[in-house]
């Protein structure tokens, strides 16, 4: 059984917390979501994404059997169907209430199965693997500045302080269809998986995250230290993190 810790915090500059998280060890499913939208709409969108995953797993228990061997392509199809259902539900809520129009949410979901990590991502929340020899960023940000970095117009450091750093290019609920990225990685004993919203990785560098996660603390203390570090560096956004140790 994997060890885990998690924490969410409003940060230093926001009035409410529009992040959400999901920890389902019985299914080996973990997720963070970062809502966007006016008023409380972002909070509604992120929580709808979380509840949507729970509902989907409950309706499709054959796929949630812990330890069952499934082809990677079948798991990708399964989670694509899950994210499409959630996308449709968020859009329906958005159009049902004018105050919620345009709401959406990022989502990064991790599923551990048979010594492998499967990650599904939409938006700029991230997944990392931290092990003895360093940190690996698993996901690619769906953001304006990440596209600029890919084109060679910005460095990673310039992207961290760019005025458009919070503009995302994909999100659940933003479009009629959703195109998540899928990633797979082999896991080793003692690997620590980190899922976080951009309130964390926007304030802490990858090396900062590696240093804290590798400090030897238990995972709840690790999550507290990560959140405290993000807040100490400005806390400009809500901060949410889930850590899982293999």
pLDDT value at 10 more than 80:
yes
Q: Alpha-carbon distance 220 to 110, whole Å?
A: 18
- pLDDT value at 230 more than 90: yes
Q: Is 3-245 in CATH node 3.40.50.720?
A: no
DSSP states along 191-221: -EEEEE-HHHHTTS-HHHHHHHHTS---HHH
Where is average pLDDT lowest: 51-65, 137-151, 192-206, 213-227?
51-65
- CB-CB contact of 230 with 204 (8 Å): yes
| pLDDT tier for residue 1 given thresholds of 50, 70 and 90 | low
Q: Are 244 and 222 in contact (CB under 8 A)?
A: no
The pLDDT value recorded for residue 144 is 86
Question: pTM (2 decimals)?
Answer: 0.94
**pLDDT of res. 213:** 98
Domain ranges of the chain: 3-245
Please, which pLDDT band fits residue 34 given cuts at 50, 70 and 90? very high
Above 70 in pLDDT, residue 237?
yes
Mean pLDDT, the chain, integer: 91
DSSP state of 119: E
- Retrieve residue 228's tokens: 């405290």
Give the torsion sign (CA, 169, 139, 178, 11).
Answer: negative
CA nearest to 50, candidates 188, 197, 158 = 197
């Amino acid at each position: 059984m994997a060890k885990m810790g998690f924490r969410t915090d409003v940060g230093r500059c926001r009035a409410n917390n529009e992040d959400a998280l999901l920890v389902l060890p019985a299914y080996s499913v973990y997720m963070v979501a970062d809502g966007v939208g006016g008023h409380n709409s972002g909070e509604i969108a992120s929580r709808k994404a979380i509840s949507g995953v729970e509902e989907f797993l409950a309706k499709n228990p054959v796929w949630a059997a812990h330890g069952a061997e499934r082809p990677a392509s079948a798991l990708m199809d399964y989670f694509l169907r899950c994210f499409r259902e959630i996308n449709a539900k968020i859009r329906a809520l958005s159009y049902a209430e004018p105050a919620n129009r345009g709401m959406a949410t990022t989502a990064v979901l991790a599923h551990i199965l048979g010594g492998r990590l499967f990650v599904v991502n939409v938006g700029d929340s991230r997944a990392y693997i931290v092990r003895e020899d360093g940190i690996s960023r698993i996901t690619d940000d769906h953001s304006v500045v990440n596209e600029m970095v890919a084109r060679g117009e910005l460095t990673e450091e310039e992207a961290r302080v760019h005025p458009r750093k919070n503009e995302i290019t994909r999100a659940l609920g933003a479009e009629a269809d959703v195109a998540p990225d899928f990633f797979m990685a082999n896991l080793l004993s003692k690997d620590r998986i980190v899922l976080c919203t951009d309130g964390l990785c926007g304030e802490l560098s990858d090396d900062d995250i590696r240093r804290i996660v590798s400090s030897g603390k238990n995972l709840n203390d690790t999550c507290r230290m990560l959140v405290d570090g993000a807040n100490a560096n400005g806390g400009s956004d809500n901060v949410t993190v889930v850590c899982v140790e293999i």
